[in-house]
Structures are given as structure tokens and as C-alpha cells.
């Protein structure tokens, strides 16, 4: 026993034991650092949308159709999911039967609510464009779609899809919005494929000099209001409409 203590004392005095401990600590630190970096790298990779995911979402968006060619069942399903009677004797209640009132109007599929029209086709196509824009931003930044930001944009798309009795469109319909949410928040976003303006051109060896590029922007509305968009005693519940768009595009698979 005494011999073991003396040997340990000699190692400590010579620094051998202390060096071994320090070396061990350094190894543990290096291993921990490598593990942390590996975790961060794996996390970043997992937050990127792969080519298959991007193709899958684009395919889903194609199913939303184009202007004049939005599938009627999609328009009907969205109305079925989001229409409400507000002054029902037994409190506000869903009104899926309004899906049978979807007709084609000057702006595509629409539903009449009193003296206004909810332009369901316009809401679908605005949502499609907004999702597509969000997807492109995610691809450029090598990340996934910001779901919170996208939902706020889709909320605003619903309120941008209402027309008056003469079919003149509202810029932003405020019916039923709480006072603090009646005004959306606008953010300037770059227009895709903004034009290139050339001050003067000098062609030389297939090169063009003195080129000035101007990036154009457009104001885009965002809203946290997911409540009732009202038309007298009837309403479209914005959150329900957005939830159904979300399901149709399977956005939970692509968003943070």
C-alpha cells in the first residue's frame, strides 16, 4: 500500500500523471467538439429541403390549377371547411352546405355572401403563389419553409379575395377583423425576374458594358388574424380556410 502511494507521488511530482489527466481532458474535449459539430451539421442538413421534397411540393401546387382551371372539388372543399353561420340559434355553427353555392363568376369560382362575393378561386391561386414564393426562398437559403411567416401570408390572401356586389375587388376586406388587426402589415418583397435596364450598350467580344440592374419590389400583406371574415350573419373562418390549404399541400412536411 505504501509502495503504491509512493509511486503515485512520484508520478505526480514528475508530471506524468498530471500530463495523462490533461491529455485525457483534451481528448474528451475534442470528442465532444466533434460530436457537437456533427450534430450541428446533421441538423442543418435535416433543415434543408431535398430535391425530392421540392418536386413533391411543386407537384402538390400544380393540383391547385391555374386561372380558369381551378378544380371545382377543391373550391368546394375549401368552402365546406371554412363557411360558418354566425347567428345560429345555438351559437356560431359550421355551414358546409355553402359549398353547393360555388359558381363561376368573373373572377373564377366564387360564393355569394349577402352583398359580397368570396372569390375562392382567387384565394386558392394567391395561396398557391405565396407557397411557391416561400418554397423558392427556402431553396435559395438551403432551409425549410418558415411556417409561421407563411401562415400570416395565407391569412392575408383570404382577405384579399373578396369582391363587392358589382364584382369590384377589395384590396383588403376588413369585415369582422378585430380593431387591432384591421390593417395588415406590408412587407416589400422582390419581384421575381425583375427587369434589367441598360443605360447604354457597347457590344464587344459578346460582352455588354454599362448595364444597370434594377431590382423591383412589391408590397405583400401579412396578417395574424385567423378569425371570422364576416358578411352579415355569414362568415369564412380564415384559420379554417388556411388549415385546409395547408392539408391540401401537405405543408407540415416542408415547414419548420
pLDDT digits (tens, 9 = 90+) for 195-253: 544 444 444 444 555 556 667 888 999 999 999 999 999 999 999 999 999 999 999 98
pTM, whole model, 2 decimals?
A: 0.75
* Residue 174: all three cell numbers together: 376588413
Extents of the domains making up the chain:
1-37, 49-200+211-253
Sequence-distant contacts of 244-248: CB under 8 A, at least 24 apart: 244/77, 244/78, 244/81, 244/82, 245/78, 245/124, 245/127, 245/131, 245/154, 246/151, 246/154, 248/60, 248/63, 248/64, 248/74, 248/77
Torsion angle in degrees (nearest 10) through CA of 74, 154, 220, 174 = 100
Low-confidence stretches of the chain (pLDDT < 50) are 2, 5-6, 8-9, 12-13, 21-22, 33-46, 196-206
In this structure, what DSSP letter does residue 15 have?
A: T
C-alpha cell, 83: 363557411
Q: What is residue 204's predicted lDDT score, i.e. its pLDDT? A: 44
Query: Residue 219: which of 244, 248, 184, 246 has the closest Cα?
Result: 184
Amino acid at each position: 500500500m505504501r509502495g503504491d502511494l509512493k509511486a503515485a507521488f512520484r508520478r505526480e511530482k514528475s508530471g506524468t500523471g498530471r500530463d495523462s489527466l490533461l491529455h485525457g481532458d483534451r481528448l474528451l474535449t475534442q470528442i465532444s467538439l466533434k460530436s457537437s459539430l456533427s450534430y450541428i451539421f446533421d441538423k442543418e442538413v435535416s433543415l434543408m429541403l431535398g430535391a425530392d421534397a421540392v418536386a413533391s411540393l411543386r407537384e402538390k401546387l400544380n393540383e391547385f390549377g391555374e386561372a380558369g382551371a381551378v378544380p371545382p372539388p377543391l373550391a368546394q372543399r375549401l368552402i365546406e371547411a371554412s363557411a360558418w353561420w354566425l347567428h345560429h340559434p345555438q351559437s356560431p355553427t359550421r355551414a358546409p352546405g355553402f359549398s353547393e353555392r360555388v359558381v363561376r363568376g368573373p373572377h373564377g369560382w366564387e360564393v355569394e355572401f349577402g352583398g359580397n362575393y368570396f372569390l375562392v378561386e382567387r384565394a386558392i391561386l394567391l395561396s398557391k403563389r405565396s407557397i411557391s414564393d416561400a418554397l423558392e426562398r427556402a431553396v435559395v437559403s438551403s432551409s425549410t419553409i418558415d411556417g409561421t411567416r407563411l401562415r400570416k401570408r395565407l391569412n392575408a390572401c383570404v382577405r384579399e379575395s373578396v369582391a363587392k356586389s358589382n364584382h369590384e375587388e377589395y384590396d383588403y376586406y376588413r369585415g369582422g377583423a378585430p380593431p387591432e388587426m384591421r390593417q395588415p402589415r406590408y412587407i416589400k418583397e422582390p419581384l421575381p425576374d425583375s427587369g434589367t435596364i441598360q443605360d447604354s450598350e457597347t457590344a464587344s467580344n459578346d460582352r455588354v458594358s454599362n448595364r444597370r440592374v434594377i431590382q423591383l419590389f412589391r408590397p405583400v400583406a401579412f396578417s395574424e388574424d385567423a378569425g371570422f371574415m364576416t358578411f352579415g350573419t355569414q362568415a369564412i373562418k380564415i384559420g379554417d380556410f388556411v388549415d385546409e390549404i395547408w392539408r391540401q399541400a401537405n405543408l407540415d412536411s416542408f415547414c419548420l
